């Protein structure tokens, strides 16, 4: 019942943010201006970067409701408070970048510090062991657990940020991730992810109409939220999912980011520079949008669904995802 109440409240809150996106964006100075002809930002009008505002408010509100009315006990309360800290702090870092254009090194250093503090104080947010699938042997990471966890979380942050280049991509991915986490998170945490899923669905509708963008504040908050909760689910649903299931969940944006890092370095370009060489740019140029969005989200969602329907098959679906990614990449670059 609490999850349903949180979901309804979250949907209403996200709707209010979406309907008032322009005044909120102007008041906060969170606006994205289109470039001149030939530039990278091709949207037709000044667009508020307030998707992250709605997402963060909903997340913090759902955590507050779970703390007030849930029955998770002191350990869950401790973990949720640190999750709220991570999401709130990451939103502020991203929003500061939206507003003042922070340096890449500066914002990554601040984000890493926030994540290190949170993971260091919440054992269930750390990848302390590795088991690729449910039949594999368990490998304890020991002192390598914290740095490995930070590498994964910061890598996901960059992947999400780089994927946020066309309407619907990151929020669509967030819907896929929400459904997965609803199935595997402990019941005491589900009100939070139920609220996030409802808010993401509403914000997705506004984003597809060009009424708002997620912004760096949103992508930073979202990557921290889903990264930490995915690790939390991995640690708690020990008998149901393995490391391959979690890797599969984030494979598409991470794979595209790794490709961009390698190819840009080989061409002596900054790996973090803006460009139109992402997978979604190639798909858009080939088939347009929103058909291209359906292709992109299918590449992300269908393998996750297949692994859920056939437990233990995540490794096979991981291989299928890589092959499908390369096939689409080649097909969309072909003239």
pLDDT tens digits, residue range 43-98? 557 899 999 999 999 999 999 999 999 887 888 999 999 999 999 999 999 999 99
Contact 186, 229 (CB under 8 A): no
Residue 267, pLDDT score: 82
Is residue 7 over pLDDT 60? yes
Q: Is 140 helix (H, G, I), strand (E, B) or coil?
A: strand
Give the separation between CA 146 and CA 156, rounded to whole angstroms: 15
89 token code pair = 């702090």
Is residue 275 over pLDDT 80? no
How many alpha carbons lie under 13 Å from residue 304 in its C-beta half-sphere?
Answer: 23
Mean pLDDT, all residues of the chain: 92
Kindly give, in sequence order, each residue whose CB lies less than 8 Å from that of residue 278, ignoring residues fewer than 6 positions away: 162, 163, 165, 256, 260
Beta bridge partners of 130: 139
The kind and range of the H/E element at 130 are strand 129-130
Q: Which of 124-138, 161-175, 178-192 has the lowest mean pLDDT?
A: 124-138
- 165-180 mean pLDDT: 96
Say what the pTM is.
Answer: 0.94
Q: Quick one: CA dihedral 60, 77, 152, 283, positive or negative?
A: negative
Residue 138, pLDDT score: 81
Give the separation between CA 184 and CA 182, rounded to whole angstroms: 6
**70: phi then psi, degrees, rounded to nearest 5:** -80, 175
Q: Which of 122-126, 200-204, 266-270 has the lowest mean pLDDT?
A: 266-270
Q: Which of 243-257, 259-273, 317-331 has the lowest mean pLDDT?
A: 259-273
User: Which phi-psi region, left, alpha or beta, contains residue 142 (left: φ > 0; alpha: ψ -120 to 50)?
Assistant: left
Neighbouring CB atoms inside 10 A of 105's CB total 9
Residue 105: pLDDT band with limits 50, 70, 90 = very high
Give the separation between CA 167 and CA 292, rounded to whole angstroms: 11
Per residue in 116-150, pLDDT tens?
Answer: 999 999 999 999 998 877 666 788 889 999 999 99
Q: Which of 105-114, 126-135, 173-182, 183-192 has the lowest mean pLDDT?
A: 126-135
């Amino acid at each position: 019942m609490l999850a349903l109440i949180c979901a309804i409240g979250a949907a209403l809150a996200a709707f209010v943010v979406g309907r008032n996106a322009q005044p909120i964006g102007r008041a906060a100075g969170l606006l994205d201006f289109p470039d001149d002809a030939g530039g990278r930002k091709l949207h037709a009008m000044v667009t508020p970067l307030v998707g992250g505002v709605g997402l963060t408010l909903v997340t913090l509100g759902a955590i507050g409701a779970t703390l007030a009315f849930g029955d998770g006990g002191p350990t869950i309360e401790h973990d949720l408070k640190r999750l709220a800290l991570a999401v709130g702090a990451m939103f502020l870092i991203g929003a500061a970048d939206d507003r003042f254009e922070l340096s890449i090194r500066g914002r990554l250093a601040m984000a890493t510090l926030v994540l290190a503090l949170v993971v260091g104080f919440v054992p269930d947010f750390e990848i302390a062991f590795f088991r690729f699938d449910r039949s594999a042997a368990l490998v304890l990471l020991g002192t390598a657990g914290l740095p490995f966890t930070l590498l994964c979380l910061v890598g996901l942050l960059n992947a999400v940020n780089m994927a946020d280049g066309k309407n619907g991509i990151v929020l669509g991915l967030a819907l896929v991730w929400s459904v997965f986490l609803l199935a595997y998170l402990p019941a005491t945490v589900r009100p939070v992810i139920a609220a996030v899923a409802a808010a993401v669905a509403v914000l997705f509708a506004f984003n597809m109409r060009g009424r708002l963008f997620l912004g760096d504040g949103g992508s930073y908050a979202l990557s921290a939220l889903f990264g930490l909760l995915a690790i939390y689910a991995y640690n708690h649903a020990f008998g149901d999912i393995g490391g391959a299931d979690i890797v599969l969940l984030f494979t598409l944006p991470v794979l595209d980011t790794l490709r961009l890092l390698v190819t840009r370095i080989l061409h002596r370009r900054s790996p973090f520079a803006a460009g139109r060489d992402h997978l979604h740019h190639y798909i858009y140029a080939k088939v347009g949008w929103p058909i291209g969005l359906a292709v992109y989200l299918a590449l992300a969602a269908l393998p996750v669904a297949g692994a859920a329907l056939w437990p233990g098959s995540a490794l096979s679906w991981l291989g299928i995802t890589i092959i499908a990614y390369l096939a689409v990449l080649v097909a969309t670059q072909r003239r």
